[in-house]
Structure 1
Amino acid sequence: MLEPVPPEARRGTFGLAMVWVGFGFVVTGLIVGGQLAGQGGAAGMPFGLAMSTIATGELILFALTVLLGIPAMRTGFNLALLSRFSFGSKGFAVPMVVMALLTLGWFASILGMIADIWGSLLGNPTGITVIDPASFGRPDVAPVSLEVVLSCIAFGALFTWTAYRGIAAIEKVAIPVAPFVLIVALGVGAGMLSDNGGWGTMVETASTQSGLGFGSGVTIVVGAWIAGAIMGADIMRYAKNVGAVLIGAGACFILTNPVLNVVGYIGAVTTGDSNFVNWMYDRGILLAIIGVIVWTTSLWTTNNSELYSNSLYTGPALNAFGVRVKRTKIVLIVGVIGTILGSLAFYQLFFVDFITVLGAAFVPLVGPILADYYLVRRNEFTAESYRRQPAVRWPGVISFLVGATLGLLFQYVWPLPFGFSSGIAALLITVVLHVVLHYALRGRTSGPVEDVTGEPVTRTAH
Structure 2
Amino acid sequence: MSSHDKEFSLEAVPQSSRKSFWNILAVMLSLSFFSASMWSGGTLGEGLSFTNFILIVLAGNLILGLYTGALAYIAAKTGLSTHLLARYAFGKTGSYITSFLLASTQVCWFGVGLAMFAVPVSLATGINVFILIGVFGTLMTISSIFGLKALAILGFISVPTIAIFGMYSVTDAVNSMGGMDALLLYQPSESVSIAFALTICVGSFISAGTLTPDFTRFAKSAKSAVSSSIIAFFLGNSLMFLFGAVGAMAFGIADISEVMLMQGLMIPGIIVLGLNIWTTNDSALYASGLGFANIFKFPKKYIVVFNGILGTLAAMWLYNNFVDFLTLLGSALPSIGAIILADYFIVRKRNYAAYETMTFKAINPVAIFAWATGIVLANFVPGIPPLNALIGTSAIYVIGMKLAAYKSTVSVKTPIKTKDEVVRDY
Per the normalisation by structure 1, the TM-score is 0.83
Of 101-110 and 210-219, more deviation after overlay is shown by: 210-219
In the alignment, what sits opposite 1:260?
240
AA of the residue aligned to 1:317? I
Matched residues in 2 for 1:282 and 1:272: separation? 11
AA of the residue aligned to 1:187? Y
Unaligned stretches of 5+ residues in structure 2:
1-8, 409-422
In the alignment, what sits opposite 2:204?
224
AA of the residue aligned to 1:51? I
Of 215-224 and 381-390, more deviation after overlay is shown by: 381-390
| Equivalent residue in structure 2 for 1:60, among 55, 58, 63 | 63
Native 8 Å contact 1:105 1:354 kept in 2: no
Matched residues in 2 for 1:84 and 1:162: separation? 29
2:24 is the counterpart of 1:16: yes
In the alignment, what sits opposite 1:395?
366
In the alignment, what sits opposite 2:107?
104
How far off is 1:443 after superposition?
8.4
Q: State the 4+ residue runs in structure 1 displaced beyond 4 angstroms.
A: 459-462
AA of the residue aligned to 2:183? M
In the alignment, what sits opposite 1:374?
345
The share of aligned pairs that are identical, in percent, is 26
How far off is 1:168 after superposition?
0.9
In the alignment, what sits opposite 1:454?
none
Matched residues in 2 for 1:211 and 1:350: separation? 28
2:5 is the counterpart of 1:2: no
AA of the residue aligned to 1:348? N
For residues 255-404 of structure 1, the aligned pairs below 5 Å read 255-284=235-264, 287-318=265-296, 324-342=297-315, 344-351=316-323, 353-384=324-355, 387-404=358-375
In the alignment, what sits opposite 1:35?
43
Native 8 Å contact 2:11 2:356 kept in 1: no
AA of the residue aligned to 1:150? I
How far off is 1:249 after superposition?
1.5
Secondary structure of the 1:441 match is helix
How far off is 1:384 after superposition?
4.2
Native 8 Å contact 2:68 2:212 kept in 1: yes
Closer/same/farther in 2, CA of residues 86 and 386 from structure 1, 3 Å limit: farther
Native 8 Å contact 1:58 1:221 kept in 2: yes
Native 8 Å contact 1:393 1:444 kept in 2: no
In the alignment, what sits opposite 1:426?
389
Deviation readout 1:376-409 (Å, 9 max, x if unpaired):
113541324663211122222221122223333x
Matched residues in 2 for 1:77 and 1:350: separation? 31
Unaligned stretches of 5+ residues in structure 1:
39-43, 125-146, 319-323, 446-458
Tell me the number of residue pairs that the alignment of Structure 1 and Structure 2 aligns: 404
How far off is 1:77 after superposition?
0.3
Matched residues in 2 for 1:16 and 1:58: separation? 19
Q: How large is the RMSD of aligned CA atoms in angstroms?
A: 2.1
Matched residues in 2 for 1:228 and 1:120: separation? 29
Deviation readout 1:43-72 (Å, 9 max, x if unpaired):
x12111111011111101001001111000
2:175 is the counterpart of 1:197: no
Matched residues in 1 for 2:346 and 2:214: separation? 22
Secondary structure of the 1:389 match is coil
Matched residues in 1 for 2:263 and 2:341: separation? 48
Native 8 Å contact 1:22 1:302 kept in 2: yes
Native 8 Å contact 1:359 1:423 kept in 2: no
Per the normalisation by structure 2, the TM-score is 0.89
Native 8 Å contact 1:18 1:251 kept in 2: no
Native 8 Å contact 1:266 1:274 kept in 2: no
Higher strand fraction: Structure 1 or Structure 2?
1
AA of the residue aligned to 1:25? F
In the alignment, what sits opposite 1:452?
none
Matched residues in 2 for 1:369 and 1:48: separation? 35
Secondary structure of the 2:362 match is strand
Deviation readout 1:283-338 (Å, 9 max, x if unpaired):
55xx43221111101221111110000011111122xxxxx311111001111000
